[in-house]
Structure 1
Amino acid sequence: MLPLEHGLFIAPYHDVTESPTIAMRRDLEIVEWVEKLGFTEAWFGEHHSTGWETIASPELMIAAAAERTHRIRLGTGVVSMPYHNPLMVVNRILQLDHMTMGRVMFGMGPGLLPTDADMIGVDVKSLRERLVEVAEIIVPLLRGEEVTHKTSWYTLNKARTHLLPYSKPYPEIAVASAITPSGGMLAGKYGFGMLCVAATESAGFDVLDENWKIANQVAAENGVTMDHRKLRLVLPMHVAASREQARGEVAEGLARWVTYFDRVAPAGMRGMSGGDPAELLVNSGRAVIGTPDDAIAMLEKLRAKQGEFGVVLFQAHNWADWEETKKSYELYARFVMPHFAGANSNRRSSYADLENAIDKLEGGRQKGTEAAFRAWEEKTGRRAPN
């Protein structure tokens, strides 16, 4: 089975009642925290409206996070390509590739929030088409090749980046995939990784394996190979010592998040409002709000549906207070990550050997003790002390 890695997906989600300054500082702090816990990736989103998802530039967050960390890889999750000239985006990615010394990952997508597109006069219906147009020239640009390309919304005239990539042959590329097959088709055509941002939503879960099959079929038609290690599944989780504790910790924040999410999510990802949101999310399989064992069960369920995948991305939803949020990641790292790494297999075997042999070994040890006392008595002529 492919080793499973673990990361963060930071949209982010920050309630409009909280300080945006503190919220963004904590986005950076949480990346530092999870790196210490053994997480291998963190992805930052791009959004420009609604008030909640406050990161307008994932590149700025990556630059800041890179100076606070040493090992964790940092990705754009994702750059909304229809809003940008691709040359400008690639120049920023390659600059980060050098600044991070190869730790940057380039995630791209069509843009999720229709209010973003509306503010700059971009037709929402054109977003996926624009992403397809960009995908055609992204790899040549990242390689440092000269590109001339004209579309209805950008022109490149003998364009090339002034930096060649630090990563060879270029930084890893991933494309967002939710419910429709468009993400899988694009990933398959060029061999990009996939960011499955709706892995546990009912509609997204239903097509998980199907979208991966589509990606592999398209890849075969284009002479490229998809890599399971670059398949990433995003899901919301909050972990505590008990289910009751977990639900209590997220009660207020989750209710506000559900109200927001049901307003901005695509139609197939809605339906959380009304009733007890924790009950609804858990019973529908859309989230883990419980113990490390519940998180393990969810990931096993995803494996059974999807097959092998490389990375699970813990959605940074900020449902709980700060210390409870940090504790949730810590419990996940202590008990969930070792399960999938098989980190304790030798320890468990060793402990089982002890259980199976302890009576026999204790009998031998007792006989050795008795022999030592007898030897002392024979040598000294005195009775050994009890």
Structure 2
Amino acid sequence: MTHLNSGIFLAPFHDLAENPVLALERDFELLQHLDALNYTEAWIGEHHSGGFEIVASPEVFIAAAAERTKHIRLGTGVVSLPYHNPFIVADRMVQLDYQTRGRAMLGVGPGSLVHDAVKIGIDPADQRRMMNESLDVIVDLLRGESVTRKTDWFDLHDARLQLPPYTRPRMEMAVAAARSPAGALAAGRHGIGMLSIGGTSDDALKHHASNWDLYAKTARENGHQPDRRNWRLVTLMHIAETREQARANVKHGLDRFCDYFRDVATFPIVPNEITDRYQFMVESGSACIGTPDDAIAFIERLLQGSGGFGVIMELAQNWADWAQTKRHYELMARYVHPHFQSSREWRTDSYSFARDHHDDFIGQSSAAVQAEIDRQAKKPRAAE
């Protein structure tokens, strides 16, 4: 069985009615909760408009989160490369690499919200080209190279990092890949990981599998060995003890989440004509809303439909209230993750062996006890 690491993709999404101070604090509390539950990683987004996804700098967020956690790895999910000078991106991430003692990861992309780009004068048609130009520079800088390069949006002269990466040879990196092939091509060219977003319906899985094939082909052409362990697939999940409870839980915030994707985000999660969003998401395979057993079956379907990946990434959302959200992650960690991490098999085998030989072991134990009793009985008694 494929060993799956576990992670979340934290945009984050917060209802407009929420206090933003408390919303951000709850995001930090969530990462502390996941850290205690042995989640492997969390990726934090960058957004600058729309009012719903309120982290503007994943690096700043990660620096604070690293102080509150011990084990969980923390990635930018993602830095929108066209918005920043590539030398500054690389330099900041190396600092994070040091501050986190190697827990930082660099996820990059072109930027997902068109209105973010427009606000700073970037033509959305240029974003993927700009991402590639920036990524080329960042990879060279992290290798310790001196870069002189000029484009229509940055001009570098003998740019070289003053610190080598803390993680050698460099921190883990990944490129976001959705509908466009740009992410898969960029990741393959540099031999770095791929973060697949864009849904998990049957059609979406076919698209992800096609992107993986493109990634693998491009990686090999550039002298890299593709490894599915470096592929992360993002999906939507909420589980509870029963399906009925899970459905009741998501009434808290599912509609507001879908409204945001309908009104503001680039692509809707649910088609506009759909009235029963819960039913659509469950039946289309876009989300798992059910029990731990349902979650296991759902992930098995994703593995089969994609051909296999290394990390199951939950898109963090506030469909349920805070208490039920934390309970969801606890159930995932206790009952779902072990199924994909081979952490129960040895215990099960040990229990089964002891059970199957129970009568023999009890007989041997009883015989040993009786032998000791008999031995003591045969000893001469001390004179009274």
The answer as to whether partners of 2:179 and 2:198 remain within 8 angstroms in 1 is yes
Contact 2:270–2:277 (CA under 8 A) maintained in structure 1 = no
Partner of 1:24: 24
1:212 matches 2:207: no
CA shift at 1:305, angstroms? 1.5
Contact 1:201 1:286 in 2 (8 A): yes
Moved more, 140-149 or 232-241: 140-149
Q: Residue 355 of structure 1: CA displacement?
A: 5.5
CA drift at 1:118 = 1.3
Assess, with a 3 A threshold, how the Cα gap between structure 1 residues 174 and 86 changes in structure 2: closer, same or farther.
same
| Residue 251 (1) aligns with residue 242 (2) | no
What residue in structure 1 maps to residue 96 of structure 2? 96
**Which range moved further: 269-278 or 189-198?**
269-278
Deviation at 1:236, TM superposition (A): 1.3
Structure 2 partner of 1:383: none
1:283-362 equivalences under 5 Å are: 283-353=283-353, 356=356, 360=359
Q: For structure 2, list consecutive stretches of 5 or more residues without a partner in the other structure.
A: 379-384
Cα distance 1:363–1:58, how it changes in 2: closer, same or farther (>3 A)?
Answer: closer
| Distance in 2, Cα, partners of 1:4 & 1:25 | 29
Cα distance in 1 between the residues matched to 2:314 and 2:200:
12
Q: Which residue of 2 aligns with 1:141?
A: 141
1:151 CA drift (Å): 0.9
Q: Which residue does the alignment assign to 2:82?
A: 82
CA distance in 1: counterparts of 2:188 and 2:343, whole angstroms: 33
Cα 1:159–1:365 shift into 2, 3 Å: closer
2:217 pairs with 1:221 = no
Could you say which residue in structure 1 is the equivalent of 2:381?
none
User: Taking structure 1 as reference, are residues 109 and 356 closer, same or farther at Cα in structure 2, changes over 3 Å only?
Assistant: same
Alignment-derived partner of residue 193 in structure 1: 193
**1:45 counterpart = 2:45:** yes
CA distance in 2, matches of 1:128, 1:179: 12
Task: Quote the offset at 1:70 in angstroms.
Answer: 1.5
Return the TM-score normalized by structure 1: 0.91
Match of 1:13 in 2: 13
CA offset digits 1:239-281 (Å, max 9, x no partner) = 1000110110111300110111123344475526632211111
> Any idea what the Cα deviations from partners look like across 1:294-323, whole Å, max 9, x if unmatched?
111111111112223111112111111111
Q: Which deviates more from structure 2 when the two are superposed, residues 258-267 or residues 221-230?
A: 258-267
Say which SS state the counterpart of residue 61 (structure 1) adopts: helix
Closer/same/farther in 2, CA of residues 239 and 176 from structure 1, 3 Å limit: same
My pick for the range that moved more, 323-332 or 311-320, is 311-320
Q: CA RMSD in A?
A: 2.4
Q: Is the 8 A contact 2:87 2:137 kept in 1?
A: no
Partner of residue 382, structure 1: none
8 Å CA contact 1:43, 1:77 repeated in 2: yes
| Distance across 2 between alignment mates of 1:152 and 1:42 | 34
1:351 Cα deviation after fit: 3.9
Contact 2:114 2:266 in 1 (8 A): no
1:155 maps onto 2:155 in alignment: yes
Give the superposition deviation at 1:204: 2.9
Aligned to 1:261: 261
Equivalents in 1 of 2:322, 2:267: separation in Å? 31
- State the match for 2:167 in structure 1: 167
More deviation in 128-137 or 89-98?
128-137
In the TM superposition, 1:169-184 aligns within 5 A as: 169-184=169-184
Q: Which amino acid aligns with 1:313?
A: M
Q: Which runs of 5+ in 1 are unaligned?
A: 380-386
Classify the secondary structure of the residue corresponding to 1:252: coil
Please give the TM-score of this superposition, normalised by the length of structure 2: 0.91
Residues 115-145 of structure 1, C-alpha deviation per residue, up to 9 Å, x if partnerless?
A: 1011111111111111111122111112332
- The one-letter amino acid paired with 1:344 is R
Alpha-carbon distance in structure 2 between the residues aligned to 1:350 and 1:2: 22
Query: Is the alpha carbon distance of 1:8 and 1:105 closer, same or farther for their aligned partners in structure 2, counting shifts above 3 Å?
Result: same
What secondary structure is seen at the aligned counterpart in 1 of 2:234?
strand
Asked whether the equivalents of residues 270 and 281 of structure 2 are also in contact (C-alpha less than 8 Å), the reply is no
* Preserved CA contact (<8 Å) 2:89 2:138: no
Question: CA distance change for structure 1 residues 128 and 347 in 2, over 3 Å: closer, same or farther?
Answer: same
- SS of the aligned residue for 1:238 comes to strand
Judge conservation of contact 2:258–2:270 (CA < 8 Å) in 1: no
Would the aligned equivalents of 2:236 and 2:288 in 1 still touch at CA under 8 Å?
A: yes
